[in-house]
Amino acid sequence: MVTIDEMNLKIIKMLEEDGRMTYKEIAERLGRAESTIRDRIQNLEEVGIIKGYRAVVDKHRLGWECDAVVLCNADPFSLNKALDVLSKHEHVHELLQISGDRRLLFRVRTKNSRELEEFITKEAMPLGLVNVDIRMVIGCMPKGCEKNENGNEKPRNKRVRELNRMQVQ
């Protein structure tokens, strides 16, 4: 069992902001021993509080230009199958069962709108989805991309931030 104290919360926050921070960097910031930090992080990973780490990739730049949120319902008899297929589909990113008049919400990314249309009509609808309400995502702000004082987007990436600092000096 891991107790969530102040230090663990600080560690989690740092790793959410920069998942590549080394044990040493975290230890320095918190003024603790590197071994303490390593043990704590390994514990957090073991109990599944930290489920993993991932690079945040600009999907738009990689050619996934069409981004949509779909709100819909599924015919109760095919709900489980629909959930299963959608959750494994490469175009579906997040799948939520929510309260409200449309009880499914998922995010779809495709290369273009034709591909989105094909996905919806040929793959999603045959799963028994009804009342399909497609909303295009025209802007997305992930956590950590807050604008700074100058109105520029603050790079999430610690290494990029360092490069920028070096250019300024």
Residues that bind another protein (CB under 8 A): 4, 9, 12, 15-20, 47-59, 61-64, 69, 83, 87-88, 90, 92-100, 105, 109, 111, 133, 135-147, 155-160, 163
Task: Give least dist CB 156 to another protein, A.
Answer: 3
Q: d(Cα 165, Cα 70) in Å, to the nearest integer?
A: 40
**Distance separating the N- and C-terminal Cα atoms of the chain:** 47
Half-sphere exposure of 18 (CA within 13 A, CB side): 15
Give residues with Cβ within 8 angstroms of 36, minimum separation 6: 27
* Chain Cα centroid distance, residue 116: 21
Structure tokens at 144: 């950590």
* Locus of tokens 């309260």: 99
In whole angstroms, how far apart are CA 136 and each of 28, 70, 78, 113, 133? 44, 8, 26, 10, 10
